[in-house]
Amino acid sequence: MKKDEKILNTMKKLRKLGLGRTTILSLTVLVMLSNVSAMEQNNDSKKEAITKEEKTNTYSYFASPSPNTSSIESILNFDSEETLKPVETKEPTTEEKIAVILERENITREQLDVIIATVKGEAAADSYDDAYAVINTFYNRTISKTWINEMIRATENDVGDNLYAQITLDNQSEVYTEGTYQLYLGTTEGPIYDAVIDFLYTLDRKHDYLCFYASYGNIPDSVQFAENGNWYYSLMPEDDIVVEDDLVLKRTND
């Protein structure tokens, strides 16, 4: 295949991929300039007069390829029919996730340990889904205007948006209030641990409930997220949710 036909066909393939006219023309100009530079250097080294015909070849768009143009030629000559591989992103390590959690939630490593232990005591045994729902509930209280104001009233401190403060306030968690959370301190693996870290790192809320109870009782409109798990109730109204941008700004400034 002739050089001009080869490049024109490749340019058509590039256009099929959605590349703009400017991008395609820019690649072509790069090839032209590289060819010109390479051939001028070759002529200078020989120190010979260049004939009119040689000048024409030197400044041709499609002059013979030189070593300097190989990288650009490889761009133009790739097979556009091949499947393009997606860019791989590296999954952060658990320690990297924890570092993000501690900074954003303004808590210490020891306080995170208490949070994990409390969730483990509240959730159904070895249930990732129920543990996720429990920590989701505790977090909802930190973005609820009603619960934040109640914290301010109860503690006389503006700590209602702090996860650790919400969980450890008297009667907010039976497991913490009675002290049984201490049985689970030091948990660093397992589905409960993973659920807490995953939620606090992503803040991907699965529900808007503010309360949960271990047995159904007579609480209307309660729902379960896992077999033998807690029952969740008291939906947070949309107008009760703190604007998250304002909350992030406040936590950053604290």
Domain ranges of the chain: 3-76, 94-253
pLDDT at 127: 97
Q: What angle do CA 233, 167, 100 make, to 5 degrees?
A: 105
Supply 102's token pair.
Answer: 């501690």
pLDDT at 218: 72
pLDDT at 215: 78
From the CB of residue 192, how many other CB atoms can be counted at a distance below 10 Å?
Answer: 27
pLDDT at 62: 45
Q: Across the 254 residues of the chain, what is the mean pLDDT of every consecutive 10-residue run? A: 58 56 57 54 55 49 47 52 64 95 96 98 97 98 94 88 94 94 97 98 97 82 93 95 62 49
pLDDT at 58: 47
DSSP 45-73: HHT-PPPHHHHHHHT-TTPPP-GGGHHHH
Cβ-contact 155, 163 below 8 angstroms:
no
Closest CA to 141 of 128, 154, 129: 154
Q: Between the CA of residue 235 and those of 124, 140, 204, 209, 227, what are the distances in Å?
A: 21, 10, 17, 4, 21
